Structure 1
């Protein structure tokens, strides 16, 4: 019952607009309850510009935001819209609630209910934001591990030859020596689907944070 306040608006919205969002699936989302929330929707729509339609009419800046992204969208389609609403909240001024967070909604198959992934502190950088990308890369410490993700079956790590699939990549990260955690910088193909992205993020969240910390700057190429 604790999800009822969110599930009913989602069903009504989808039915009234004759549109449906296919949420990305994970088996172990890190968060299962979010209170004081308002939703945004990114629809997969082949008739819309760039194949994506954003509805953010219900967003209240002082609340936690649940961003519902169709898993079929690519990062090229979804990230500019996500950046747009991130900027709206970060630039909210006097109405801003510093404690409010942003979450991606997903279908947690492990509990057969909604799960959420926090992306409040993530800064996305695309080819359209060259100056911001340069500034962000300059802030990253020299001691870091870069991962280039062309696909979940093809992940290139900066200090390794060849490529890894996601399972081997996570195993490699988990085997990193202590005590200092590895600062991981993600470089993500714009052709990754949102399902691929959430699968990657969920796997990284499961990795021991004393071994690996994911840099908040994520680069889309």
Structure 2
């Protein structure tokens, strides 16, 4: 049985056959190790723009050759890649694994990043996450499915293109986010679960995505949970609705 243990440089570099993936960095490990895994790599690449040869376009190159459906899948994604390239690939791989006859119950999907304090490779599980991509946003989704959320306090958390944060359209400083959420939970104290519905502008980088997910995760406790549905939106598509 294979095992990934804490071996990552402070710069957050992960290598695959001499090719490098720059990993996001954080100061906490959600998970420190995982067994029986298959690695998947998403490399940062650039290519010449066909319309403007002086301009380079960012593209993603995915190495999924070792993705065995009966194992845990470890996603090593370059932190410079934008979500508009990353999430569609993640969604396709999720469907591939789900539809495989070799899929095994209990196997996880995890994102990797570097814990710069503990100096180890860390993991963020997203096995149960369902991504809504493009023209979806949690506020309208909750309205359309109100019966499923009626027993909760529902917060729409939006990580915007400039990486600022709003909660129900109120801008909240990053350093006050966790306290804001927990203070609301303490204020209500009515027995209802608080659910954080996360929305991400698709122009954010994967680095920003992981940092924001961990920030939201740090705000959770027994009465505060993250929704299993995440919204990665295209601002132009939302404006056109």
TM-score normalized with structure 1 length = 0.84
Alpha-carbon distance in structure 2 between the residues aligned to 1:39 and 1:85: 12
1:63-102 alignment, distance < 5 Å: 63-93=71-101, 95-102=102-109
Q: Is the contact made by 2:40 and 2:64 (CA closer than 8 Å) also made in structure 1?
A: yes
Q: Is the contact made by 1:155 and 1:165 (CA closer than 8 Å) also made in structure 2?
A: yes
Q: What value does the CA root-mean-square deviation take over the aligned residues?
A: 2.9
Alpha-carbon distance in structure 2 between the residues aligned to 1:6 and 1:34: 13
Q: Is the contact made by 1:148 and 1:187 (CA closer than 8 Å) also made in structure 2?
A: yes
Instruction: Please identify which structure carries the higher strand content.
Output: 2
TM-score normalized with structure 2 length = 0.77
Compare CA radii of gyration and give the structure with the larger one.
2
**178-187 vs 65-74, greater mean Cα deviation:** 178-187
| Matched residue, 1:205 | 217
Alpha-carbon distance in structure 1 between the residues aligned to 2:214 and 2:198: 14
Alpha-carbon distance in structure 1 between the residues aligned to 2:182 and 2:120: 28
Runs (5+) with no aligned partner, structure 1? none
Q: 1:5 to 1:30 in 2, by over 3 A?
A: closer
Q: Is the contact made by 1:32 and 1:116 (CA closer than 8 Å) also made in structure 2?
A: yes
Q: How many residues align?
A: 210
Structure 1 position 6, deviation (Å): 8.9
1:18-57 alignment, distance < 5 Å: 19-47=19-47, 51-57=59-65
Q: What is the aligned counterpart of 1:190 among 202, 214, 217?
A: 202
Q: What is the aligned counterpart of 1:147 among 151, 157, 161?
A: 157
Structure 1 position 134, deviation (Å): 5.9
Q: 1:32 to 1:204 in 2, by over 3 A?
A: same
Find out whether 1:172 has 2:180 as its counterpart. yes
Q: 1:80 to 1:137 in 2, by over 3 A?
A: farther
| Matched residue, 1:116 | 123
Q: Is the contact made by 2:163 and 2:204 (CA closer than 8 Å) also made in structure 1?
A: no
Find out whether 1:217 has 2:197 as its counterpart. no
Instruction: Please identify which structure carries the higher helix content.
Output: 1
Runs (5+) with no aligned partner, structure 2? 9-13, 49-56, 234-241
**38-47 vs 142-151, greater mean Cα deviation:** 142-151
Alpha-carbon distance in structure 2 between the residues aligned to 1:98 and 1:152: 39
Q: Secondary structure at the match of 1:77?
A: helix
Q: 1:149 to 1:90 in 2, by over 3 A?
A: same
Q: Secondary structure at the match of 1:40?
A: strand
